[in-house]
Each structure stands twice: as C-alpha cells, then as structure tokens.
Amino acid sequence: MIPSLKNCSIKEGAMKISLGLDVKLKDGILVVNSASGKTLLFPKDHVVPRKIQMVTLAELSDMTIEKICTLFGYKTRKSYYDIRRFVLENDIQALMPSKTGPKTARKRTTELEKRAIQLRLSTDKDMYKITEILNQEGFSVGPRLVGQILSDYGISKKNCSERSKGTFQDPADP
C-alpha cells in the first residue's frame, strides 16, 4: 500500500536528508555507526567529518556552493557535488582519502638502464631489437622506454648516425 500525501505538509525549499547513521562524539573522536553494523572512528581533524559538515552547511545555509567550496578548500563545484552524492548514498568509503601518486612501480630501474646501455654499446642494434632482447630477459618494457633511456644517455642510433655523417653540431662547440 502506498502512503497518501494528503496529511503531509512539505515546505517549499525544505529538504530532509536521511543518512541512516548513528553519529556520536566521544573524547574528540567522531564515531559513526551505519545501519549495516559497520563502525568508523574519525579523529577530530579527519577529512570525512569535514566533508559531511560541508554538505550539511550547504543544505542548511543560503551560501552559494562556490563560497562553501572556497571555505572548505575545494576549487570546483564538481568536488562539492561528488562529495554530496557520496554523503547521500551513505558511501563513506568513497569519502575516505585515497592514496595519490603512481599505483604501480616504475618500469625504468637502474638495472634496466644498465642493461639497455650495455646492449647498445656492445652491439649495433636499434631500440626495437634491444627491446626484444630485454623482453626475452624478463624486462617488461616497450621500445619507447628503451628509446628514452638511450636518448637520455646520448647513445641512440639517431645521435650516432648524425655524428658519423658529420651533420651533428655539438652544443659545446661554437
């Protein structure tokens, strides 16, 4: 049975947010219990309560979203609306700070550089042939990375062929 809206009074501009969370403050630590039984603890200066405060302030005040974003240190309105969506969907995990920076280890290691340079100096192979050899030896690299390594050390085929033709101009020589 669908409830009737006949006896309900809804004010214009009013919005009710139901998060389904039990929120308590104990000794400066915010304790959030979700309906699913998960408990999260946030220190006083943690970013999640600040995000929840930002959404609450935006919903309850007459301030513009731009002012609220500036107040809380966000540069775009999109950041606010993303955070608001996560708060309204009870997706606390998405509100948690995520690790920034590279997610995988660098492929360009000193061992790889040494081996690429050694292959270039000991053979007359180009970066594509050196890439094949390195892949057979267990290095997972592409020709572009090998080319960058050789170029950084000034031993790429391109530089060598220019020197042998006499068209290479050394920047140190005027």
State the pairing for strand pair 29-34/21-26: antiparallel
Last residue of a domain, one of 65, 95, 125: 95
Same domain, 73 and 122: no
Give the residue numbers spanning the domain of 71: 21-95
Question: SS3 string of the chain?
Answer: CCCCCCCCCCCCCCCCCCCCEEEEEECCEEEEEECCCCEEEECCCCHHHHHHHHHHHHHHCCCCHHHHHHHHCCCCHHHHHHHHHHHHCCCHHHHCCCCCCCCCCCCCCHHHHHHHHHHHHHCCCCHHHHHHHHHHCCCCCCHHHHHHHHHHCCCCHHHHHHHHHCCCCCCCCC
Total count of domains within the chain? 2
Q: Which of 22-26, 91-95, 169-173 has the highest mean pLDDT?
A: 91-95
Domain-embedded: residue 12: no
- Tens of pLDDT, residues 23-69: 676 776 767 677 777 776 766 667 787 888 888 878 877 889 998 88
- Tens of pLDDT, residues 116-152: 999 999 988 889 999 999 999 999 999 999 999 999 9
Domain-embedded: residue 3: no
pTM over 0.75: no
Last residue of a domain, one of 62, 95, 128: 95
Same domain, 89 and 132: no
Domain-embedded: residue 132: yes
